[in-house]
A and B are shown apart, each in its own frame.
Chain A
């Protein structure tokens, strides 16, 4: 711990001593350097070996330096939070750090050369945060609460703007604020820019306080959607201020209201249009998987800029683009691209947020903008706070009359307290025209103070408040199959009852929409392959199996090797000791699965392992050979799998900025999966298969099928074995194992399990109990194994095992 503190200090020192003076020196000396350069050109007496070309790289260099500084700042802040106290939320700490940095810059420069300029903020820093928020938005939750969100966003914001503006004006008229060159319209303008709850701040603060989903989505959804209102109000009042008081009549007001409709809905539909474009694009990008992830960002940004160009609500546009495209893009894109998008989005969003808060701090250290008017500032703070509370309670009261599950009082308190203002308000304030609004600096100062107050103070106190009020926290829902099953059942039940009652309830709309979406929209926007893999319950089941697989493998490593797969009882006991009863049931069976997997078997109990490995009962020579092969494979596995770390169930907390842990292991899951399947391929190839066994298979298949259920009474789990499900063989002419066909190049092109035909012949073991067929894997939802993968391992293994088992191919296999 001490070391990291030292690291922080070191970093701070670095920042202070080196980076900033460097910047200062460079920017100051810029003019100096230009002249010598010209002089040098004229007085060039000899060849300059090295020249200092600051002015060539100035702009990008400064940008990068600041990004670097922001990164270091975030690092320091996070370390601080981990090791010292985590009382102040990260955003607050970043602002404070920004103060320090701003102080340094100002100290060197006597002027604030690095400010958060509105164009930078609105065009380069904000879009990715909104895109990230909307791309990971829990759609179902969002849309089911959409009514409430809209009420808060539209009416709440209007209420806030109106009341704050009018109250301030009232106080001004009452003379509390002294002499200001300001009028009613300007107060209203100010009210509209300070009224909006800021998504960046909300994410930053609520991320660390895990409140229940509904509460979060209400606050967060409101912060996203209120941009539509804010933009309209701001522009309307800005125009009114420019027009001047007397020219405003009913027509103008009506135009203002109409513009709201156009801006808000226009922005949303534009976003939806871009989402459709994006989905269609990803549908066709099968062959350029390497860059398809980029499309998400590019199209998202396009949506934002296009809306901005058309003076529609840019935030709404990019929000709806993200919300609508998530499902299709995730289904269409290759797994790796999906992961890339996730990681890249989080990176960009995190980075932007850091920079925004840092610059919010830096910008404050500037003597030019600060105008202090006690009355104005304090009253603003007061009104913003009070009217937020009043507004929230008022609208919630109205909403609860219509909601199925009313919003509780405690949640309302948190909602009103969570009305944080942030950089958007500052950006809008900085955009004000000084000529039209002489008191611009006062407004900027006030906005900054409000932002600091909400982010820092309310951020600090949010967590204790939530704990004190015993707010319902986010439910750590494990992905239990029975819960999912019942959820689905309840949906059906509700639907049926609604049908019986003959009334159109909420569910009717949802169902109608789902049907429409499934039939038409998905058909248009999703790849056909992706559409087939959509069965919900099955994908849950599949995910659960994979998690078990991970746990199993990681346990194997911890044990040192997969040796336990060769022993029997002992390993079981270990598991029980380590995991307690929770895993004990599942683990032994999985363990058994795993090892027998290589032998191509699924159902079994612990004892059957013993049978299999001891080369006495069934397989004789071949069993021994297989055991050796297994050793080999185990060793291989051990080495390769050493890279993985164990994963436990991580709760599905989706709203975190820095963690999106639900499927973090997907990539590794896939790889483990691939490897184990590869080993299965090897075991298949270790037997000689021709056309004949086909008949044997069907016979035994039917026999074994009936026996199966009886045989293994205590086989309780699906676990991994079910992924390798037995196939109902359609009795064809035979089963071609491409491995043994004359053209041996097919395995190297694509693994058999990816081929459409029944390409894998079962091993002799498999004839007794049939293993899964790889092509059935297509049924397993999101698992996608890239057909173009250049797995050198695969090819190496293929050739290796082919050689190894060539001599064994002569062996006769006895039917069991």
Chain B
């Protein structure tokens, strides 16, 4: 644990980070809580991505990850790391975004005053919603949906077919008939999906 501690000290604001993301420092008896190794691993990964050693990442660092380039919505996800206007991602933000993908803690005591943890279902959904909603107006418009569909569907689908799919998708989810999907409608349409399962990475516990 000694070396772990010293490595941890090198990471700035590590206590705040752990507090916010829920990645705990001390391994408790409850097997659901995690060892600090994860923060260290993520820090190592951060440093590996940050080839020029500047202490923060910029988009082309992410672009260097080959598999990400082959991902249809890879560029959107990269974009999700960068807050609007900022060109760089520091370690803090990096971990915070990744914390969205921690499995949901079922045993978390419900304190009414504490802010919702980052990996709650609602926040996971918000993260996904932001991937669709590029202009951040709180609604997924038909065009935005079209773009996502175009990215995710194969090339043999013609534009008209695409538009029909988009129309139909919006129609399924759109309850207030404004031809866009708001976050609430989005959430409602995904009630049946087990978000905890679908948007969680095991080792980030």
Contact = CB atoms under 8 A, between A and B. Distances in A.
B54 interface: no
Nearest to B125: A486
B173 interface: yes
B171 A535 contact: no
B27 interface: no
Contacts of A541: 161, 164-165, 168
B19 interface: no
A475 B192 contact: yes
B169 A500 contact: no
Interface string B46-68: 00110000000000001001011
A488 B152 contact: yes
A574 interface: no
Interface stretch (A225-233, A261-269, A613-621, A711-719): A711-719
A716 B167 contact: yes
Interface string B1-24: 000000000000000000000000
Given A477-B192, A496-B68, A538-B161, A501 B45 contact: yes
Contacts of B48: 502
B172 A722 contact: no
Contacts of B148: 485, 489
Contacts of B195: 490
B131 interface: yes
Contacts, number: 158
Interface in B147-205: 148-149, 152-154, 156-161, 163-165, 167-173, 189-190, 192-204
Contacts of A487: 193, 198
A481 interface: yes
B72 A497 contact: no
Interface residues of A, number: 53
Interface string A531-546: 0100101100100100
Contact of A497 (B132, B196, B201): B201
Nearest to A404: B202
A648 interface: no
A401 B42 CA distance: 22
B196 to A, nearest CB: 7
A779 B156 contact: yes
A404 B156 contact: no
A715 B167 contact: yes
A481 to B, nearest CB: 5
Contact of A538 (B153, B170, B199): B153
Nearest to A475: B192
B67 A495 contact: yes
Nearest to B201: A505
Contacts of A535: 153-154, 156-157
Given A493-B77, A494-B199, A483 B65 contact: no
Contact of B152 (A489, A500, A722): A489
Contacts of A480: 172, 189
Contacts of A497: 77, 98, 101, 201
Contacts of A483: 189-190, 192-193
Nearest to A406: B106
A718 B190 contact: no
Contacts of B190: 482-483, 486
A506 interface: yes
Contact of B73 (A493, A499, A717, A779): A493
A334 B73 CA distance: 35
B45 to A, nearest CB: 5
A74 interface: no
Interface in A497-522: 497-503, 505-507
A404 B103 contact: yes
Task: Specify which of B62, B160, B189 lies most central, judged by the most chain A CB atoms within 10 Å of its CB.
Answer: B160
Given A500-B98, A722-B165, 11 more contacts: A405-B197, A482-B172, A489-B148, A492-B152, A493-B73, A502-B48, A502-B49, A505-B203, A541-B164, A585-B171, A718-B163
27 contacts: A404-B103, A482-B172, A482-B173, A483-B193, A485-B149, A489-B73, A492-B71, A492-B73, A493-B131, A499-B67, A500-B49, A500-B62, A501-B204, A503-B203, A505-B201, A506-B202, A537-B149, A538-B161, A541-B164, A586-B171, A718-B161, A718-B165, A718-B167, A725-B158, A725-B164, A726-B158, A727-B158
Interface of B: 31, 41-42, 45, 48-49, 62, 65, 67-68, 71-74, 77, 98, 101, 103, 128, 131-132, 148-149, 152-154, 156-161, 163-165, 167-173, 189-190, 192-204
Top 5 A-B pairs ranked by shortest CB distance?
A: A718-B164, A722-B164, A718-B168, A490-B198, A496-B77
